[in-house]
Amino acid sequence: MKPARINLCLPVFNSVATLGYSTVAVVNAVNASLCDVKLSENPEEKIGDGRLTKTAYKVSGSIAYKWEGQINTPRRFDAWHSKVAAANKIAEFESVGIPSEFIKWMDGFAKAPAKSAAAQADAQAQAQLTPA
């Protein structure tokens, strides 16, 4: 799998940066851990609901792929982050407590210079203001 899945949601980004960790290093570590996941089963094809137009019947289809790999800390972080991102879509919040397992993990590689956290927060704020 080509690693490029995670982009930190705002609450996780703010919390990681506030604690003085490099958000770039965290994202890179999670994406790097995805390099060795394997396609776990054949793609699942799904056909949606059919509909009629004035002249034709139309139906859409999709293909879902599933990858699988061993559990490790970066992948646990990715799964936790996905749940935080989903909760943030329901009700937005600014920060979140980071589990101690991830603090210990980030201590090993992601400490950022003190001024870098503020610069990253500014960059994230700018990115959210810029239309995609």
Handedness of CA 118, 32, 8, 126 (dihedral sign): positive
Report d(CA 6, CA 19) in Å as an integer: 20
pLDDT at 12 exceeding the cut of 80: yes
> Model confidence over 46-89: pLDDT tens digits?
998 999 999 999 999 999 888 888 999 999 999 999 999 999 99
Q: Give pLDDT, residue 27.
A: 93
> Model confidence over 97-117: pLDDT tens digits?
999 999 999 998 888 665 556
| pTM, two decimal places | 0.71
Q: How many CB atoms sit inside 10 A of residue 13's CB?
A: 24
Contact 30, 78 (CB under 8 A): yes
Q: Give pLDDT, residue 25.
A: 93
Q: Give pLDDT, residue 36.
A: 85
Contact 31, 5 (CB under 8 A): yes
Q: Give pLDDT, residue 58.
A: 93
DSSP annotation of 121 reads: H
Contact 60, 48 (CB under 8 A): yes
**112 or 1, higher pLDDT:** 112
